[in-house]
Amino acid sequence: NSKVIQTPRYLVKGQGQKAKMRCIPEKGHPVVFWYQQNKNNEFKFLINFQNQEVLQQIDMTEKRFSAECPSNSPCSLEIQSSEAGDSALYLCASSLSPDTLYFGAGTRLSVL
Amino acid sequence: GEQVEQLPSILRVQEGSSASINCSYEDSASNYFPWYKQEPGENPKLIIDIRSNMERKQIQELIVLLDKKAKRFSLHITDTQPGDSAMYFCAATSTGGNNKLTFGQGTVLSVIP
């Protein structure tokens, strides 16, 4: 079983609502990634952190998402105003280094 | 940024035969190539990886090959079993920086008993 814990497993929101998901990385892993996997199973990188600092993020994340990885608290990813196109599986992954990623079970978001 | 192409998108093989999935990448700086297996409703699980200082790596029935000159790498599953049926993703990244993994489009493998 994955040691990366994501909550909730399922999230249903209406358009325009906020959608927040959380991730507890594997203990001792300083690097955290968020990916979006769409209905075609395509992976889209959203943002990554090393400790509490953002390393990289795409434009969409910067404009529409709020993300953080505070010390001693779960990491979080929040869509500020959900759109139908945001419906997807959101995967959190952690790593000791920036390459080998271990994924959590994901949060499946449905925007109605 | 890096682009990874993965083929085939669908692969059906008879139990006991071999299955091969091929990937190509564009960025010559990429030096780490993992493979993930994802079963329906599950998270992607790392099954094998290879770094650019190797050409071949084997873990039990899984073999990965890397051709840096051609910028291609491949996964070969020997003696396939029904439990190998899943979606498989290749990925590539360059270490030494904070670069993200770029994934291929995925291959749905079905092993027919």
Q: What is the pLDDT of residue A96?
A: 85
Cβ-nearest to A99 among B32, B45, B105: B32
Interface subset of A 57-86, CB within 8 angstroms of B: none
Nearest residue to B105 via CA among B30, B24, B31, B50: B24
Query: Are B33 and B54 spatial neighbours (Cβ–Cβ below 8 Å)?
Result: no
Å between B18 CA and nearest CA of chain A:
24
User: Between the CA atoms of B60, B62, B64 and B65, what dihedral angle is there, to the nearest 10 degrees?
Assistant: 80
Residue A110 has pLDDT above 90, yes or no: yes
Residues B36-61, mean pLDDT to the nearest whole number? 95
Residues B42-55, mean pLDDT to the nearest whole number? 94
Distance between the two ends of chain A, CA-based, in angstroms?
Answer: 31
- The pLDDT-based confidence of B1 (bands split at 50, 70, 90) is confident
Nearest residue to A23 via CA among A62, A73, A86: A73
- Specify the 3-state DSSP secondary structure of B42: coil
Task: Kindly write down the DSSP assignment for every residue of A13-47, as one continuous string.
Answer: E-TT--EEEEEEPPTT--EEEEEEE-TT--EEEEE
B chain contacts of residue A45, beta-carbon cutoff 8 Å:
100-102
- The pLDDT-based confidence of B89 (bands split at 50, 70, 90) is very high
Q: Which residue has the tokens 């493979």?
A: B35
Residue B96 has pLDDT above 60, yes or no: no
B chain contacts of residue A104, beta-carbon cutoff 8 Å:
43
d(CA B74, CA A10): 34
Q: Percent of chain A at pLDDT above 70?
A: 98
B chain contacts of residue A50, beta-carbon cutoff 8 Å:
98
Residues B2-10, mean pLDDT to the nearest whole number? 95
Q: Do B43 and A2 touch (CB under 8 A)?
A: yes
Residue B97 has pLDDT above 60, yes or no: no
Q: What is the pLDDT of residue A58?
A: 87
Q: What is the pLDDT of residue B100?
A: 83
Q: What is the pLDDT of residue A2?
A: 72
Residues B13-17, mean pLDDT to the nearest whole number? 97
Nearest residue to A57 via CA among B98, B103, B32, B83: B98
Query: Are A82 and A15 spatial neighbours (Cβ–Cβ below 8 Å)?
Result: yes
Residue of B nearest to A107 (CA): B43
B chain contacts of residue A32, beta-carbon cutoff 8 Å:
none
Residue B95 has pLDDT above 70, yes or no: no
Q: Does A8 touch chain B (CB under 8 A)?
A: no
Cβ-nearest to A98 among B43, B95, B105: B95
pLDDT in tens, A18-65: 999 999 999 989 999 999 999 999 999 999 999 889 988 888 888 999
Nearest residue to B47 via CA among A82, A103, A98: A103
Least confident of A17-26, A82-91, B87-96: B87-96
Residues B45-58, mean pLDDT to the nearest whole number? 95
